[in-house]
Chains A and B, each alone.
Chain A
Amino acid sequence: MTNSVAFTTVVDDIDDEALDDAVKKRLGFGFWVAISWIGLVSLAALLAPWLPIADPNEIANGAPRDGILGDNFMGTDALGRDVFARTIWGARISLGVGFLGILLGIVVGGAIGIAAGYFKGLTDQVISFVVFSLLSFPSLVLALLITASLNRSFLTVAMTLGIVGIAPISRLARATTIQFAEREFVQAARVIGAKSRRIIIKELLPNVLVPMGALTLLGMGISIVAEGGLAFLGLSVEGEAISWGKSIVDGSQTRDLNQNSHVAFVPIFAMFLTVMALNFAGDRIREYTDVRETAF
């Protein structure tokens, strides 16, 4: 095999968490709970403007730093803004950049990975080398390198998260492609003289897309967390835009954290549950489709 194998051994086989056989091939009750939660949060995020909740940016909607279950359902923050409304609106950006980011990562990373896995040879070597180099950066450092010099709009942040995802995703896509490229149906298509483009689109893509489904959920969780990390570095979406990461940072000012911890804890809880649901559902899909390795 080529050098690229060596590049990948370092990080391969890691997340191969063997699972109880009994759980396999069954999504299970937990999966549906997780999916419901994700659905609920996504729906709330989408419908936020029409929900009967307070204006998230209204200063002094209630008395500042009011506790949970006071006049406001989840209390208010330092400026008297409704924490519940801000958490729902925060989901819009957090889920938004998470979804858009992973989408970009999958489209670009998937294309690169399939190309590498299908064409092999020099293409594969070059791509694998670049991918491995990118993987040599701790992801937050890479994200920081990108956002540091740019204006931080919603799209920039989503794009940054996407770029960070490209390398690991393309590695998974490559591995899956190699796996399928050896299979009879692909070999057969080659023998009857089908064009590469046709083989990739008709034969490989559908098979590579399946593990990508699990990846979308897992990757979205990672992107949501990454947005929070950027927020702590002061590099998340700028301006009045509300995100979970920014809300957590706002609530984590020492004195507020000590005396009115709900301001930070409510968005932390929302983020935690959502990321856990995404991880759980992603894990289950992965087991279900029997993908042995993930990129993360």
Chain B
Amino acid sequence: MHVHFARTSLARLLALLLAFVMIAAACGGSDDSDDNAADTPSDSDTGSDESSDDDAGDGDSVVPTITAPEEEEVAEEEIQRGGVLRVAMEADGDGINPVANNFANSAYLMGQSIFDPLFTLDQDGNWFPYLAESASPVEGTSSWQITLRQGVTYHDGSEMTADDMIAAFEAQLADPIISLAVAPSFPAENRVERIDDYTVQYNLLRPSAHFPTNLTSQLGMVPSASYIAAAAEDPTMDQMPIGQGPFKIVSRTQDDKTVVERNEDYWQGTDNIYLDGIEFLPITDAAIAAERVAAGDIDLVVTSSADAILTLRDAEGVSTIENVYSSENDIMMNTRAAPFDDIRVRQALTYATDRERLSSLINQGTSPLADSMFHPDLIWNNPDVVQEGNMPELAGPLVESYCADVPDNCTDGKIDMELQYSGPSVTQTRIADILTAGWEPFFNVTEQELLQDSHILEVAIGQFQVVTWRQFGAVEPDNEVVWLECATAEGFITLNWVRWCSPERDELLYAQRATDDLDARVEMWREIQAEMNESYAYIFTTHANWTIGFGDQVNNLCGQTGPGGETLFCNNQGRMFFHNVWLGEG
């Protein structure tokens, strides 16, 4: 049994797709464009520093700024050096090789300490170059040249060059899962060219004004070419990545502990890296992790569990940084499988769903109700779009009319249906029980708990009727196009899970991608939300709350800076940087 099959099969391919799906900023949609498109060309000449300041200076903040509570200015001399930060994660990743493993929250936490990204987001949600020195479009915007900083060294001492970027790109395309996010954006041939030692040109399938936003995710983490080659031969090396970030890996035991230490040869110098090292501990019971943060034997936890968030809020000497703008919990219906191919049935299910009850019992006040894929504080949000629900009186007549037309799908005047969810998980089971209780007057509900692998696979290939899910939430909404466009709705396997296709909506999706006029884009996204709402394919329930909880001894989580002094985005779906964090007295 030496053959490495797991990763090459479609099932494995999709095994972590859900997590990946929620988090990879660049999935499928290469031609990102965001509001600061006009600024982009100017980025190319003088390097990142001023240009990114320009971005921020435009005031085109696309997200509400998230800050730590009582964030106060600390003089350099007050900062304490040393110490090992103990970080609890909700799960462990398969591995931390960004070109071979699919990064969910835990892998991002570890990965961002070991790898610096090519580009990242500032506190306003705009991208700026990090390891890259510049990014400039050529021939309109269908090709992009990305130039690296010189003198960036890997943990093994070698210098980072264009060859590493190309090796990483080829490896991403060779990986069955990651390529799903990359390949569709590129033509079949001549996808990448080496311009000089530090410059690579990417040739895209369609014009994109904002290709660099794609590289703010795991796709912008570039291991060394020699490591990539070695890891391709020996997958166990995925556990011991060689990056160029502020910390390098010391040891890793999966589902147990991963240890990194300060990289003394960091390309930016070690003056601003305060910690000696970090220990990452997967603790699957987030509430236990929260208790341990409260007890002080763990410094920090990243979670989206209501129980854990409440425990953290209650605890003495513990603070939280909460972000409810990234990713939505929803219920999805397969619009191409009976009975949910009929809009009456989708409407009936929507009316029969008591979102308030679901939210109050499951989220216990930690997550706000969601009306659409955008939180009301986001500029993209359409305030006129309201998620219907809890109107059972409207469901009855619809069910009656459907059952009169299609008696085969009904028993005793109720529609037969199956609710699928991923388990074993107490929370998922509770959600299913609440939903079922509300639906039962109109539907004969069969609950099916599936292991996560099978759950995601069956959704991807359309073997489902109704599922509970979490998705969306990218800082830049253009990254959501892939979940919505018709092109992928037709395939045997699709990322348009609900398989809903609307040509008019497609036009809007591509139009917003083409323009850099923020007001116009906002208008289009509002129309898209309205269309999604009218399709009755999704029932949005709550905006997930990604929370970082930490003891008082942990300082400077928000307000960390990039190479040019840019303030970094704090808590993007629980992801964070560690290089400027320091430990003081609790």
A250 cross-chain contacts in B, Cβ below 8 A:
426, 429-430
Bound complex: CA A256 to CA B433 (Å): 18
Contact partner of A64 among B307, B311, B361, B423, CB < 8 A? B361
Task: Choose among A57, A235, A238, A255 the residue with the greatest number of B CB atoms under 10 Å from its CB.
Answer: A255
Encode contact with B along A248-275: 1 for CB under 8 Å, 0 otherwise.
0110011110000000000000000000
- Chain B interface helix/strand/loop/mixed: helix
A59 to chain B: which residues have CB within 8 Å? 357, 361, 433-434, 437-438
Inter-chain CA distance A64–B434, complex, in Å, is 13
Query: How many angstroms between the C-alpha atoms of A6 and B447 in the bound complex?
Result: 49
Q: Does A39 reach chain B (CB closer than 8 Å)?
A: no
A255 contacts B287, CB within 8 Å? Answer: yes
Q: Is the C-beta of A194 less than 8 angstroms from some C-beta in chain B?
A: no
Q: Tell me how many residues of A have a C-beta within 8 Å of chain B.
A: 19
Of A64, A238, A253, A256, the residue contacting B449 (CB under 8 A) is A238
CB neighbours (8 Å) of B235 from chain A are none
At the interface, yes or no: B397 with Cβ under 8 Å from chain A? no
Q: Judge if A108 is at the interface, Cβ distance under 8 Å.
A: no
B291 within 8 Å of A (CB atoms): yes
Q: Is A58 an interface residue (CB 8 A)?
A: yes
In the complex, what residues of A have CB within 8 A of residue B426's CB?
Answer: 249-250, 253
- Which B residues between 286 and 311 are near A, CB-CB below 8 angstroms? 287-288, 291, 307-308, 310-311
Report the minimum CB–CB distance from A251 to chain B (whole Å): 9
Instruction: Write the B300-326 contact mask toward A (1 if CB under 8 angstroms, else 0).
Output: 000000011011000000000000000
Nearest-CB residue, chain A, relative to B286: A254
Name the distance in Å between A245's Cβ and chain B's nearest Cβ. 12
Cα–Cα distance between A57 and B311 once the two chains are bound (Å):
27
CA A80 to CA B311, docked complex, whole Å: 20
Question: CA of A240 to CA of B308 in the docked complex: distance in angstroms?
Answer: 25
Q: Which residue of the partner chain A has the closest CB to B311?
A: A255
Contact with B along A58-102 (1 / 0, CB 8 A): 111000100000000000001110000000000000000000000
* Contact (Cβ within 8 A) B423 A234: yes
For the complex, give the distance between the alpha carbons of A2 and B357 in Å. Answer: 66
Contacts of A57 in B (CB 8 A): 433, 437
Q: Which of B146-174 contact A (CB under 8 A)?
A: none
The complex places the Cα of A58 from the Cα of B361 at a distance, in Å, of 13
With both beta carbons as reference points, the residue of chain B lying nearest to A55 in the complex is identified as B437
B60 CB within 8 Å of chain A: no
A239 at the interface (CB under 8 A from B): yes
Is there an interface contact between A254 and B433, defined as CB atoms closer than 8 Å?
no
- Tell me the complex Cα distance, A249–B285, Å: 13
In the bound complex, residues from chain A placing their C-beta under 8 Å from that of B433 are 57, 59, 79, 240
Q: Distance in Å from the Cβ of B69 to the closest Cβ of chain A?
A: 22
Per the bound structure, the CA–CA distance linking A249 and B430 in Å amounts to 12
- Chain B residues with CB under 8 Å of A79's CB are 361, 430, 433-434
Q: B residues within 8 A CB of A254?
A: 285, 287-288, 291, 307, 311
Within the complex, the shortest CB–CB distance from A179 to chain B, in Å, comes to: 45
Most A Cβ at <10 Å: residue of B423, B424, B436: B424
Q: Are B307 and A255 in contact (CB under 8 A)?
A: yes
Q: How far is the CA of A58 from the CA of B357 in the complex (A)?
A: 12
Q: How far is the CA of A255 from the CA of B429 in the complex (A)?
A: 17
Most A C-beta atoms less than 10 A away, residue of B288, B307, B446: B307
B449 touches A239 (CB 8 A): yes
Give complex CA distance A255, B446 in Å.
29
* Contact yes or no, B436 A240, CB < 8 A: yes
- Whether the Cβ atoms of A80 and B449 lie closer than 8 Å is no
B447 A78 Cβ-Cβ under 8 A: no
| Chain B residue nearest in CB terms to A239 | B447
Binary A-proximity of B396-425 (CB < 8 A = 1, otherwise 0): 000000000000000000000000000110
Minimum CB–CB distance from B27 to chain A (whole Å) comes to: 30
- Chain B residues with CB under 8 A of A239: 446-449
Q: Are A58 and B437 in contact (CB under 8 A)?
A: yes
Report the separation of the CA atoms of residues A256 and B361 in the bound assembly, to the nearest whole angstrom.
Answer: 13
| Cα of A238 to Cα of B420 in the assembled complex, Å | 12
Closest to B440 in A: A57
| Residue-wise interface mask of B (450-465) relative to A, using a CB-CB cutoff of 8 A (1 in contact, 0 not) | 0000000000000000
Least CB separation from B424: chain A residue: A234
Contact B361 A60 (CB under 8 A): yes
Query: Which chain A residues border B311 with CB–CB below 8 Å?
Result: 254-255
Closest Cβ of chain B to A143, distance in Å, is 15
CA distance A286 to B426 in the complex (A): 40
Can you name the residue of chain A whose Cβ is closest to the Cβ of B432? Answer: A240
Complex Cα distance, B357 from A80, in Å, reads 11
Q: Contacts of A235 on B, CB cut-off 8 Å?
A: 424
Contact of B437 with A255 in the complex, beta carbons under 8 Å: no
Give the CA-CA distance A80 to B308 in the complex, in Å: 20
Find out whether the CB atom of B430 lies under 8 angstroms from the CB atom of A78. Answer: yes
B452 CB, nearest partner CB in chain A, Å: 12
Q: How far is the CB of B445 from chain A (nearest CB, A)?
A: 9
Contact residues, A214-241 vs B (CB, 8 A): 234-235, 238-240
Q: How distant is the Cα of A254 from the Cα of B447 in the complex, in angstroms? A: 25
Closest-by-CB residue of A relative to B291 is A254
CA distance A91 to B314 in the complex (A): 36
Closest Cβ of chain B: how far from A249's Cβ, in Å?
7
From A58, A64, A238, A254, residue with most partner B Cβ within 10 Å: A254
Measured between alpha carbons, how far is A64 from B430 in the docked complex, in Å? 13
* Pair A253/B287 contact, Cβ less than 8 Å: yes
Q: Cα distance A197–B311 when bound, in Å?
A: 67
How far does the alpha carbon of A249 sit from the alpha carbon of B307 in the complex, in Å? Answer: 15
- A80-B436 contact in complex given A255-B287, A255-B310, A255-B311, C-beta closer than 8 Å: no
Contact assessment for B291 and A60 in the assembled complex, using a CB-CB cutoff below 8 Å? no
Instruction: Please name all residues of chain B whose beta carbon is closer than 8 Å to the beta carbon of A255 when the two chains form the complex.
Output: 287, 307-308, 310-311
Q: How far is the CA of A64 from the CA of B307 in the complex (A)?
A: 14
Q: How distant is the Cα of A249 from the Cα of B427 in the complex, in angstroms?
A: 11
- Who on chain A is nearest to B434 by CB? A59
Nearest Cβ on chain B to A157's Cβ, whole angstroms: 14
Chain B residues near A64 (CB-CB < 8 A): 361
Residues of A within 8 A of B357 (CB): 59-60
Q: Closest CB of chain A to B444's CB: distance in Å?
A: 12
Residue of chain B at shortest CB distance from A255: B307
By the criterion CB–CB under 8 Å, are B285 and A240 in contact?
A: no
> Which residue of chain A is the closest to B450 with respect to CB atoms?
A238
Q: Give the distance to chain A from B90, nearest Cβ to Cβ, in Å.
A: 13
* Nearest Cβ on chain A to B430's Cβ, whole angstroms: 6
Complex Cα gap A59–B361 (Å): 9
Distance (Å) between the CB of A262 and the closest chain B CB? 17
* A256 / chain B contacts, CB cutoff of 8 Å: 307
CB-CB under 8 A from B285, the residues of chain A are 254
Q: Is the CB of B361 within 8 A of A253?
A: no
Q: Which residue of B lies closest to A59 (CB)?
A: B437
**In the complex, per-residue mask of A105-136: 1 if CB is within 8 Å of any chain B CB, else 0:** 00000000000000000000000000000000
Chain A residues with CB under 8 A of B447? 238-240
Kindly state the separation between the CA atoms of A60 and B436 in the bound complex, as whole angstroms: 13
* Closest residue of B by beta carbon distance from A152: B449
**Which chain A residues lie closer than 8 Å to B288 at the CB level?**
254
Given A78-B361, A239-B449, residue A253 in contact with residue B307 (CB < 8 A): yes
Residues on A with beta carbons closer than 8 Å to the beta carbon of B446: 239
Q: Smallest CB–CB gap between A180 and chain B, Å?
A: 46
Closest CB of chain A to B464's CB: distance in Å? 16
A234 neighbours in B (Cβ, 8 Å): 423-424
Q: List 6 A-B contacts (CB under 8 A).
A: A58-B437, A59-B433, A238-B447, A238-B449, A250-B426, A255-B308
- 9 further interface pairs, Cβ-Cβ under 8 Å (given A79-B433, A253-B307): A59-B437, A78-B361, A78-B430, A79-B430, A80-B361, A240-B433, A240-B447, A255-B308, A256-B307
Task: Report the 3 A-B pairs with minimum CB-CB distance, sorted nearest first.
Answer: A234-B424, A254-B287, A255-B307
